[in-house]
């Protein structure tokens, strides 16, 4: 499996770190986008090279095929009732996360607060 930016093909070295909204910094690909400190799962990751945001899973390349029907047979999708939230970002909240704007001064606030596609 190879890991690189789906936009510019930058390969993050093991020394690269991203910062979660809780303030913890870590190599996001060591945990598949999950902060080891607070458990937040980042669905999008910002590239250190081109600054583009893209779905975290799009960074993984050459994965072996998976038979989804065999994996999910007999399982129902989890209910979204009872307070499940698709996005943790509040209106007007300070955006943080892997490659957050405060780590890259070239990224403007207007750009950083652009709507993000939320994956199911």
Can you give the pLDDT at residue 41? Answer: 95
The domain spans of the chain are 1-65+95-110
CA pair distance 33, 23, nearest whole angstrom: 15
Gap between the terminal Cα atoms of the chain: 23
Can you give the pLDDT at residue 50? Answer: 97
Q: For residue 118, which of 58, 43, 57 has the smallest C-alpha distance?
A: 43
Can you give the pLDDT at residue 43? Answer: 94
CA distances from 105 to 1, 9, 76, 108, 111 (A): 32, 22, 44, 7, 11
Q: Hey, which residues does 3 pair with through a beta bridge?
A: 60
- In tens digits, the chain (120 residues) has pLDDT values of 899 999 999 999 999 999 999 999 999 999 999 999 999 999 999 999 999 999 999 999 988 877 767 766 665 544 444 433 333 333 333 444 454 444 443 333 333 333 444 454
Strand, coil or helix: 65: coil
């Amino acid at each position: 499996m190879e890991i690189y930016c789906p936009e510019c093909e930058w390969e993050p070295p093991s020394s690269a770190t991203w910062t979660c909204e809780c303030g913890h910094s870590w190599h996001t690909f060591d945990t598949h986008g999950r902060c080891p400190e607070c458990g937040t799962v980042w669905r999008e990751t910002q590239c250190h090279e081109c600054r583009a945001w893209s779905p975290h899973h799009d960074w993984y390349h050459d994965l072996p095929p998976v038979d989804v029907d065999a994996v999910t047979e007999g399982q129902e999708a989890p209910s979204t009732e009872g307070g499940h939230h698709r996005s943790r970002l509040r209106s007007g909240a300070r955006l943080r996360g892997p490659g957050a704007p405060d780590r890259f001064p070239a990224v403007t606030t207007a750009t950083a607060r652009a709507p993000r596609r939320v994956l199911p």
